[in-house]
């Protein structure tokens, strides 16, 4: 049993090379296929579960190495937690995959139930315990032709497609003789090698679907101050970062014929709570001139704090306010936070006790000629269903984030990949302002039209791409796929019960 477990760990680590910063998506399919091949030799459900768990541990330990970075911001206080965070998070997430392998083996001695149980496990991972769908298999496809399925089927159905391909690569018995599973797997593998941005799809599909760009579109200025998390709240450096953002906001337009129509600052862009920042807000609005400014700020209400985004009117008064509703557990808030505070335990980003409070839900902000935008603050862009929760279809998406927490490599790049997924799923452009990067404009196909490098300071004037008609996934959300998945699992359970009765006691 030791050798299969070691093989599963190695296969998981190999599959994680599909995620940023490596971006080798074909290795995802190879690693998953290796796990399925090992699974075929696990007759007992418990051994199958251990194999799936080991594969998950190898995968998540590699893909989520960046999770240690937040604990190193204040190393004296939190540094000791970093290795435990990586180990326990990876082991915990791997339980979903271990349960999927166990359930599949309970249902059948064949490999095909793994398609249903593994897909279900990934969907559950996105929803239960507030959800954490980071590094799901479909995330690795964002640069490839396979990512186009996101607009039609969404991320969880694309997970299923990838799992079908992995099972198909090692198909055996009568399924192997039909050549269908192997052929499907090769088509998916081919799509993972095809870079959707580099391919000349204008010829194959038509410029209506992949336009080369338009003139006369509204211009958004994205501000990136590059305030490292260690320095962000340093009283001596606060004026440096604040003045830097003011200077970028007031700078002449990159194109004199196309001044900015909107300026976006990043998450918690200023250190003062909203009610204490009236003077600063007036300076920000004045620097914006005729362009409204939207920025991230902490907001106080009685004894509660909110992680918010505000849109300022020309006088610096917050005309519109959105409070983040999907918070990071153990980061922005601590369960039983006031009690744990007695022992000196706080969330990493918490300002006091329980930390931030959750807002009431998704909300659209109206930016006049630009249209209505759905704001997403940092972590909210990780969840496809948070975008589908918009009260109406927006014209574009805005993500403000402080990825300084995520380190200088994989974390920010994986976060950007997820923002690109949301754009594809909705057929909407996404304007992204990140404190330390990567700030970018993303078109409705997930392509980056312009960006600022990671860990650099600057600003970017970039045209807002036109949105597409509502995608199938934006109209249906996850419910149809969830229903089909439940029906498939129910059918597999009925079939397994029928086989057991046929075999006798």
Q: What is the pLDDT of residues 401-423, one digit of tens each?
A: 998 878 788 999 999 999 999 99
Look at residue 291 and tell me if it is in a domain. Answer: yes
> Are residues 128 and 63 both part of a single domain?
yes
Look at residue 213 and tell me if it is in a domain. Answer: no
> Are residues 458 and 488 both part of a single domain?
no
Provide the pLDDT for residue 489: 92
Its domain, for residue 141, covers 2-195+477-503
DSSP string of 219-247? EEEEEE----TTTTT-TTTHHHHHHHHHH
Higher-confidence position of 331 and 495: 495
Residue 395 has pLDDT above 50, yes or no: yes
DSSP string of 360-405? SS---EE-GGG-EEEEEEGGGGG-HHHHHT-SS--SEEEEEE-GGG
Look at residue 411 and tell me if it is in a domain. Answer: yes
Look at residue 349 and tell me if it is in a domain. Answer: no
What is the layout of strands, in order, in the sheet containing 304-312? 318-323, 304-312, 293-301, 262-264, 219-224, 458-463
Least confident of 97-101, 211-215, 469-473: 211-215
DSSP string of 145-198? GGGGGHHHHHHHHHHHHHHHHHHHHT--HHHHHH-HHHHHHHHHHHHHHSBTTT
> Are residues 153 and 47 both part of a single domain?
yes
CB atoms within 10 A of CB 195: 12
Q: What whole-number distance in Å separates Cα of residue 440 and Cα of residue 433? A: 7
CA 187 to chain centre: 26
Spell out the residues 6+ positions from residue 406 whose beta carbon is closer than 8 angstroms to its own: 66, 69, 70, 412, 415
Q: What whole-number distance in Å separates Cα of residue 56 and Cα of residue 22? A: 18
Look at residue 371 and tell me if it is in a domain. Answer: yes
Provide the pLDDT for residue 505: 42
Provide the pLDDT for residue 504: 41
> Are residues 458 and 489 both part of a single domain?
no
Provide the pLDDT for residue 122: 97
Quick one: average pLDDT of 295-301?
A: 92
User: In the chain, pLDDT over 70 holds for what percent of residues?
Assistant: 87
Q: What whole-number distance in Å separates Cα of residue 403 and Cα of residue 334? A: 20
Q: Fill in the DSSP letter of residue 264.
A: E
8 Å CB contact between 349 and 378: no
Quick one: average pLDDT of 65-79?
A: 73
The values of phi and psi at residue 182, to 5°, are: -65, -40
> Are residues 304 and 241 both part of a single domain?
yes
> Are residues 235 and 117 both part of a single domain?
no
8 Å CB contact between 407 and 128: no
Provide the annotated active-site residues. Answer: 267, 324, 378
> Are residues 290 and 155 both part of a single domain?
no
Provide the pLDDT for residue 354: 57
pLDDT-derived band at 397 (thresholds 50, 70, 90) equals: very high
> Are residues 163 and 271 both part of a single domain?
no
Q: What whole-number distance in Å separates Cα of residue 104 and Cα of residue 93? A: 18
Quick one: average pLDDT of 98-115?
A: 92
Provide the pLDDT for residue 200: 43
Quick one: average pLDDT of 359-384?
A: 94
Higher-confidence position of 11 and 337: 11
Q: What confidence tens digit (pLDDT) does each residue in 183-223 have?
A: 778 888 888 888 766 544 433 343 444 455 567 799 999 99
Quick one: average pLDDT of 374-379?
A: 95
CATH number at residue 424: 3.60.110.10
Q: How far is CA 149 from CA 156, 240, 471, 486, in A?
A: 10, 44, 11, 21
Higher-confidence position of 48 and 74: 48
Look at residue 364 and tell me if it is in a domain. Answer: yes
> Are residues 302 and 247 both part of a single domain?
yes
Q: What whole-number distance in Å separates Cα of residue 385 and Cα of residue 477? A: 7
Least confident of 78-92, 390-404, 479-493: 78-92
> Are residues 308 and 372 both part of a single domain?
yes
Quick one: average pLDDT of 341-347?
A: 49
Q: What whole-number distance in Å separates Cα of residue 228 and Cα of residue 240? A: 12
Spell out the residues 6+ positions from residue 505 whose beta carbon is closer than 8 angstroms to its own: none
pLDDT-derived band at 317 (thresholds 50, 70, 90) equals: very high
Higher-confidence position of 396 and 81: 396
Provide the pLDDT for residue 352: 47
Residue 92 has pLDDT above 80, yes or no: yes
Quick one: average pLDDT of 38-64?
A: 94
> Are residues 481 and 465 both part of a single domain?
no
Tokens of 162: 């990838």
Quick one: average pLDDT of 24-43?
A: 93
Look at residue 189 and tell me if it is in a domain. Answer: yes
Residue 452 has pLDDT above 70, yes or no: yes
Least confident of 91-100, 295-304, 377-386: 295-304
Task: Work out how many domains the chain is built from and give that number.
Answer: 2
Look at residue 290 and tell me if it is in a domain. Answer: yes
Mean pLDDT of the chain: 87
> Are residues 389 and 277 both part of a single domain?
yes
CA proximity to 418, closest of 404, 436, 435, 397: 397
Higher-confidence position of 318 and 437: 318
């Amino acid at each position: 049993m030791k050798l299969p477990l070691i093989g599963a760990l190695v296969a998981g680590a190999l599959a994680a090379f599909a995620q940023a910063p490596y971006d080798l998506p074909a290795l995802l399919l190879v690693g998953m296929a290796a796990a399925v091949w090992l699974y075929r030799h696990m007759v007992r459900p418990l051994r199958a579960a251990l194999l799936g768990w080991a594969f998950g541990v190898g995968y998540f330990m590699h893909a989520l190495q960046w999770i240690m970075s937040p604990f190193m911001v204040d190393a004296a206080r939190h540094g000791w937690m970093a290795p435990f965070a990586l180990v326990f998070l990876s082991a915990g997430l791997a339980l979903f995959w271990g349960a999927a392998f166990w359930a599949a083996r309970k249902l059948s001695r064949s490999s095909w139930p793994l398609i249903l149980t593994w897909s279900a496990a990934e969907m559950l991972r996105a929803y239960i315990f507030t959800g954490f769908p980071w590094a799901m298999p479909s995330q690795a496809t964002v640069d490839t032709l396979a990512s186009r399925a996101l607009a039609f089927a969404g991320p969880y159905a694309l997970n299923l497609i990838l799992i079908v391909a992995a099972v198909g690569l090692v198909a055996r018995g009568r399924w192997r003789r039909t050549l269908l599973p192997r052929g499907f797997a090769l088509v998916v593998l081919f799509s993972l090698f095809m870079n959707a941005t580099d391919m000349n799809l204008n010829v194959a599909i038509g410029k209506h679907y992949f336009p080369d760009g338009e003139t006369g579109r509204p211009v958004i200025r994205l501000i990136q101050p590059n305030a490292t998390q260690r320095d962000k709240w340093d009283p001596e450096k606060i004026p440096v970062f604040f003045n830097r953002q003011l200077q970028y906001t007031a700078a002449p337009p990159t194109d004199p014929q196309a001044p900015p129509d909107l300026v976006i600052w990043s998450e918690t862009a200023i250190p003062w709570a909203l009610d204490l920042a009236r003077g600063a807000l007036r300076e920000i609005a004045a620097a914006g001139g005729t362009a409204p400014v939207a920025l991230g700020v902490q907001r106080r209400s009685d004894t509660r704090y909110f992680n918010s985004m505000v849109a300022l009117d020309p006088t610096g008064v917050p005309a519109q306010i959105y409070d983040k509703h999907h918070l990071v557990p153990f980061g922005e808030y601590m369960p039983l936070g006031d009690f744990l505070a007695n022992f000196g335990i706080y969330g990493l980003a918490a300002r006091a006790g329980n930390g931030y409070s959750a807002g009431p839900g998704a909300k659209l902000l109206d930016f006049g000629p630009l249209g209505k935008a759905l704001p997403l603050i940092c972590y909210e862009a990780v969840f496809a269903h948070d975008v589908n929760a918009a009260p109406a279809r927006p014209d574009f998406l805005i993500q403000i984030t402080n990825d300084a927490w995520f380190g200088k490599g994989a974390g920010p790049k994986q976060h950007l990949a997820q923002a690109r997924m949301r754009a594809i799923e909705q057929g909407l452009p996404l304007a992204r302002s990140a404190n330390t990067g990567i700030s970018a404009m993303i078109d409705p196909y997930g392509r980056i039209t312009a960006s600022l490098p990671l860990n650099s300071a600057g600003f970017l004037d970039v045209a807002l791409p036109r949105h597409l008609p509502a995608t199938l996934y934006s109209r249906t959300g996850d419910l149809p796929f969830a229903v089909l998945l439940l029906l498939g699992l129910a059918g597999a359970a009925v079939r397994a019960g029928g086989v057991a009765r046929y075999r006798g006691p």
